[in-house]
Amino acid sequence: MEKDNPTKNNNPLLDLGHLPDFYRLRWNLRMERDFDTPFFLGSALRGLLGHGLKRTVCVTRQPKCTSCVLLQSCPYPAFFEPAAIHPSNARVPYVLALPFIGRHQFKAGDILPLEMTLLPPHDRQIPYLVHALERAGKMGIGPQRVPFSVASVSCLEKAGENSWLPLYEDGRILRQAPTVKLEPPPLPRQVSLEWLTPLRLKRHGRLVRAEDFDGNLFIESLAFRASDLAASRPERTLLKQIREQKITARTQMHWREMSRYSSRQGTRMQIGGLLGRMDLELAGLEAYWPWIWATQWLHLGKFTSVGLGRYRLTASLPTR
């Protein structure tokens, strides 16, 4: 039987794959000395996690993963070199979520919270990640190499609720992390999106600036994110439909430049993006509402693995 054209479906984005289940972890890192953070901490934390994981699981000590006999079974390349496993689908299976951007001061004994969205089936690697971050804490963070320990790890029970279960305490794993099911609330009339970390988008090889960002580009970005998680690309007809649709949105965005040091490339890289707010009318966007809601935990744009593209959503009353 011939399959229907997915772009003719009343729910086009969901044809790119159902809303993914995921695991949401909250790490409480206890600083062992005073720590003045850099403006953006995501890159440093991701780098430390990568170093800690490689030291934890790598047994061949090869400088590159591509020729390693353990490539398909080792946890490290799945997280930090996915292109070595699947060159055409280098999906990074996690998102870091930072509680802040900007410089903060932590005293010895203070807790630095960090959240992570982890995609299945990589929940099997959670014990490796815990041990890797413990090991990374001994290496220390920042230019002063401030040491830290993993005080505890908890896991979210349900998206949209502040209900967390203890997962790791006192050096032991307490339970298996529950899968977070994405069950969007009823469709509101309007949503307000506040970006907590910069949104970095590229279209036609150029960075999207504040004056170019609108509701259509936001929905188009959702289509790309949804297809990325489904290991595909959005249909051209779907993108054409989105670009031609009349979408009402009011934006107050500005560019925030940031940089990170790439140890692999041995240089600093610019990773700036857009910060601000968008008020979006949802009339005509019913099909996209599940993804608008879900992407609070999945982020948008580039460098989601270091925490970019995170937004918080508030909604008006549901439609009748």
Single-letter code of the amino acid located at 184? P
pLDDT (tens digit, 9 = 90+) per residue, 36-65? 998 889 989 999 999 999 999 999 988 888
Give pLDDT, residue 268: 76
Single-letter code of the amino acid located at 294? A
Give pLDDT, residue 261: 66
Measured CA to CA, the distance from residue 217 to residue 254 in angstroms comes to: 15
Q: Which of 260, 265, 217, 224 minimizes the C-alpha distance to 242?
A: 217
Measured CA to CA, the distance from residue 231 to residue 91 in angstroms comes to: 7
Give pLDDT, residue 317: 62
Q: Which of 52, 116, 50, 46 minimizes the C-alpha distance to 77?
A: 50
pLDDT (tens digit, 9 = 90+) per residue, 200-232? 999 989 999 999 999 999 999 999 999 888 878
Measured CA to CA, the distance from residue 208 to residue 274 in angstroms comes to: 8
Tokens of 216: 């259509």
Give pLDDT, residue 255: 96
Equal CATH topology for 23-173 and 184-315: yes
Which three-class secondary structure state does DSSP give residue 313? Answer: strand
Topology, domain 184-315 = Alpha-Beta Plaits (3.30.70)
DSSP symbols for 16-40 = G-PPPPBEEEEEEEEESS-EE--S-
All structural domains of the chain with their residue ranges: 23-173, 184-315
CA dihedral 191, 98, 94, 47 (to 10 degrees): 150
First-to-last CA distance in the chain? 38
Among the four given CATH numbers 2.70.98.10, 3.40.50.10440, 3.40.50.10490, 3.30.70.1890, the one describing domain 23-173 = 3.30.70.1890
Strands 190-199 and 249-256: unpaired
**Ramachandran assignment for 22, one of left (phi > 0), alpha (psi -120 to 50 degrees), beta (any other):** beta
Tokens of 264: 């692999």
Quick check: pTM over 0.85?
A: yes
- Give the residues of the chain that fall short of pLDDT 70: 1-17, 261-266, 317-320
Angle made by CA atoms 36, 38, 41, in degrees to the nearest 5: 110
